[in-house]
Structure 1
Amino acid sequence: MEDLMFDIAGQPQSAWQSYVSEYVPQSLREAVAHLADEFTAAYLLDCLILEKGLRSRLLSNSTRQPNTPLTTDERSDRFAMLLRLWAEGCHTVVDERLFADTARRRPEELEALREYFRQNALRSRKKFPS
């Protein structure tokens, strides 16, 4: 299975930036645009983890559990596994521990994405009243 994994740590950023970029919707970029001067692959990947976790409603459970921060190698391994799964069509897979770790590392982005989802939910309700 290891030979199937996309080796993030072993690749220059430019090699996997385009790989990550295809999974990042424009709406996600817009939600965090005020927080970043530029969108690096690592930043986009963190935001994508947060977005997928929020869509899966992980916030309440994952961030409350006391976990030690993931090491750089652990994060790279988990990112690589997710990228491989997403590339194979498993678009809703989320690593809860990676989500919690990323939420702790990027609280402003988490809040920006939560606010974006709230605003879009309100817009959807106005378009389609029950």
Structure 2
Amino acid sequence: MFRSAGPVAVWIAAAAALGGAGAAALSAEMPDRTGQGADVFDLFDENHDGRISNAEFQNNKILVFYVWDRNRDLVLTPDETPLRPEVFARAAGPDGRIDSLEFITVIDEAFLLADANRDSTLDRQEFAAIRQRIRP
């Protein structure tokens, strides 16, 4: 199910739309944070230890999908994500859409790919390096 750079792109762009705390706060805050210069790393780093652990990632990943899915049809289309068109196409595959189950699979793989030193966490450098590759 891995699709080239797609998983990394989806995860990092998803991170740009997500905050770290409770679902109620996220639904109220996320649309405003997407276009701003919020420090996305800090939003994911719930315990503020300078690393995004796999547990912190798991706690927040599906919220990203719901923030992006503006029409609530449980499918992401290119106009619902901040991804470059070519990045979205690689992540979506032939049907041109990303459903919630595909999103979970792709985003889990993306965390593994982003973890360059294989310590099951993302530090700021790993996070920044991947983010630079997929955002316009």
Instruction: Pick the TM interval, shorter chain.
Output: 0.3 to 0.5
Scaled by the length of structure 1, what TM-score is found? Answer: 0.34
Greater strand percent: which structure? 2
Q: Give the greater-gyration-radius structure (CA).
A: 1
Scaled by the length of structure 2, what TM-score is found? Answer: 0.33
Greater helix percent: which structure? 1
